[in-house]
Structure 1
Amino acid sequence: MIRTIAVVVCLFGFASTLVADQAPGGDGSSVTEGSLIYKTVDGRDLRIDFTRPTDWTAEDQRSAVVFIHGGGWTGGKPGQFSQHSLELADRGVVCFRVEYRLLDKKSKLPPITCTEDVSDAFRYIRSHASELGIDPNRIAAGGGSAGGHLASFLGMMDDVAVDGVSRKPNALLLFNPVYDNRPGQWGDARVGDRVKEFSPSENITKDDPPAIVFLGTEDKLIPVSTAKRFRDKMTDAGLRSELYLYEGEGHGFFNAGKGDNSAYLSTTDRAMSFLQSLGWFDN
């Protein structure tokens, strides 16, 4: 890896003092990676890692994907989607990976801090679109498992604009997402009777973004029937919703390095095709 020290004022035109790297892209080309800080909570800096094409300029209006890692709201790291980011950056997309506060495994609290942080991160990215070289109206949220819950939370919950900046993505890329938290579904122990407040599946309305969902048929956390219900609820609301089932695959099947990588490659290609079908790469 060729390491280039630079402040983000040179990279994106606003303040931070982190490192940018040139790294091999998904097809062997080079992309630029680095980090920036989007908020500080109780003395802790929370960062957004980014991957962008080498021909990026601040004057661009590129499509973007904000990835949110999984881990049951209690674990995981932003690097889960590093390879996805490299692959999409090779294809011209600016990718971001969000760090958020994790819940204590011993607690029974709902994911309040998680939803707060990803909401703030998404608004931060959109509000700085002109410096990040992205189109504020072409920002997808993507996530796996609990990260899929958080991505779909942004998409389905009532939008709360802060200083006029929306947290609602323009599309959703969901990898075995735990987006249904009703009794008997994953996450119900934490969500409890606050289903309407936290469960994306119970908040679908006609103003929500289009979604593509990937699920293994042997996933022990998310029944196929749950994914079909979500798809049908979106369709009934007049929304575009695509569901791809992977026969015999379990939870986390989509991750880079899993098995022969065929599921990772397939889901990544389908996610990119989905964004292309929305007309995100006309410019």
Structure 2
Amino acid sequence: MTKKTFKTIEDGDDLELHIAYPKGHQSMDKRPAIIFFFGGGWKFGKPGQFYPFIQDLSDEGIVAISAQYRTKKSHGATPVECVMDGKSAIRYVREHAAELGIDPDKIIAGGGSAGGHVAACAVVDNAPQETNENLQISSRPQALVLLNPVLSVGPDGYAHGYVKQSIDNWQSVSPLHSIDSNFPPTLIQVGTADKVLPPSMAYDFEKQMKAAGNKCEIIFYEGAAHGFFNKPEYRDQITNKIKAFLQSLGYIN
């Protein structure tokens, strides 16, 4: 596992990308990249959560990354800083694509729970982002791979009151309320017993995505609760579904 600093925050702490390169990878390559963001309700969590997935996906020829971002526990962060860090991570990878051996036009963002929210918010143009970065470089991924993501922080969604404490315009960090025709192809995997992303909300997201002309695929796991992707028995199935989705987009053979 290679670690690379993508951002230094005000207190001097570095935020890092944890990178799994494909075997034989060279900087002159132009491979697709996938960046995962860990779950933990924006309050805790570490990049190691996605090590099993990035190791498996790097075997498919993708530069696979698990990104660090600030949480409430680590830096007293709110969901706003989490979203800002997510955009920073994707922007860094695109800006440094040549040295990383990555195709800047084939960047996939993914994550679980709050990390899925961070990934999806990278698509939202008016979501919060750092002003001291080169904003001419897009933080938008070309595809989304989400595991029981927080899709709504609205009144009927998850943690509405908590999010509103950090931002008045909560719609700017609520993917369900920000769908437009520019949303990239999206894969969502979720359990039927999930209370954070209930099936009805997943169906609503899919309906709005397709109405806007976007590709959206939802895979349900019968009886699985929130956070099911952390359980080893689901890992192979989840990874195979991600591979099939990325194959359909032409990102892996």
Superposition TM-score, scaled by structure 2 size: 0.91
**Pairing 1:1-283 to 2, within 5 Å after superposition:** 33-41=1-9, 42-103=11-72, 110-158=78-126, 162-192=134-164, 193-255=168-230, 258=231, 261=233, 263-281=234-252
Shift of 1:158: 3.9
| Overall identity of the aligned pairs, in % | 40
Query: 1: CA distance between counterparts of 2:113 and 2:173?
Result: 15
Measure how far apart 1:157 and its partner are.
Answer: 3.8
Runs of 4 or more above 6 Å deviation:
none
CA contact (8 A) 1:157 1:204 kept: no
**Contiguous gaps of at least 5 residues in structure 2:** none
Moved more, 43-52 or 161-170: 161-170
Distance 1:244 1:156 in 2: 23
- Cα distance in 1 for residues equivalent to 2:138 and 2:15: 20
In 2: Cα distance, 1:214 partner to 1:156 partner: 21
Q: For the residues of structure 1 that align with 2:78 and 2:160, how far apart are their CA atoms?
A: 9
- Secondary structure at 1:119's aligned position in 2? helix
What amino acid sits opposite 1:34 in the alignment?
T
Structure (1 or 2) with the greater helix fraction: 2
For residue 150 of structure 1, give the secondary structure of its aligned residue in structure 2: helix
Higher relative contact order (CA 8 A, sep 6+): 2
Which stretches in structure 1 are left out of the alignment for 5+ residues? 1-32
SS in 2 for 1:204: coil
Shift of 1:116: 1.2
User: Equivalent residue of 2:151, what SS?
Assistant: coil
CA contact (8 A) 1:157 1:203 kept: no
Q: CA deviation at 1:191?
A: 2.2
User: Alignment length, in residue pairs?
Assistant: 244
Tell me, in whole angstroms, the C-alpha distance in 1 between the residues paired with 2:222 and 2:56.
Answer: 24
Aligned mates of 1:163, 1:191 — CA distance in 2: 25
Tell me the secondary structure at the aligned position of residue 229 of structure 2: coil
The 8 Å contact of residues 126 and 172 in structure 2, kept in 1 or not, is answered as no
Contact 1:140–1:172 (Cα < 8 Å) also in 2: yes
SS in 2 for 1:53: coil
Aligned equivalents of 1:35 and 1:103: distance in 2? 22
Whichever residue aligns with residue 117 of structure 1, its letter is D
Retained in 2: the 8 A contact 1:38–1:46? yes
The question of whether the paired residues in 1 share the 8 Å contact of 2:39 and 2:45 is answered with yes
Q: C-alpha distance in 1, partners of 2:125/2:39?
A: 19
C-alpha displacement of 1:198: 1.2
In structure 2, what is the Cα distance between the partners aligned to 1:212 and 1:272?
11
Distance, in Å, in 2 between the alignment partners of 1:226 and 1:235 is: 14
Question: Is the partner of 1:244 in helix, strand or coil?
Answer: strand
Please give the alpha-carbon distance, in whole angstroms, between the structure 2 residues aligned to 1:207 and 1:176: 22
Q: SS at 1:80's partner residue?
A: helix
Give me the whole-angstrom Cα distance separating, in 2, the residues matched to 1:274 and 1:187. 30
Shift in Å at residue 226 of structure 1?
A: 0.6
Structure-2 separation of matches of 1:269 and 1:169? 21
SS at match of 2:15: strand
Please state how far the C-alpha of 1:156 moved relative to its aligned partner.
3.4
> TM-score by structure 1 length?
0.82
**Superposed displacement of residue 184, structure 1:** 2.7
**Structure 1 residue 66 displacement after superposition:** 0.4
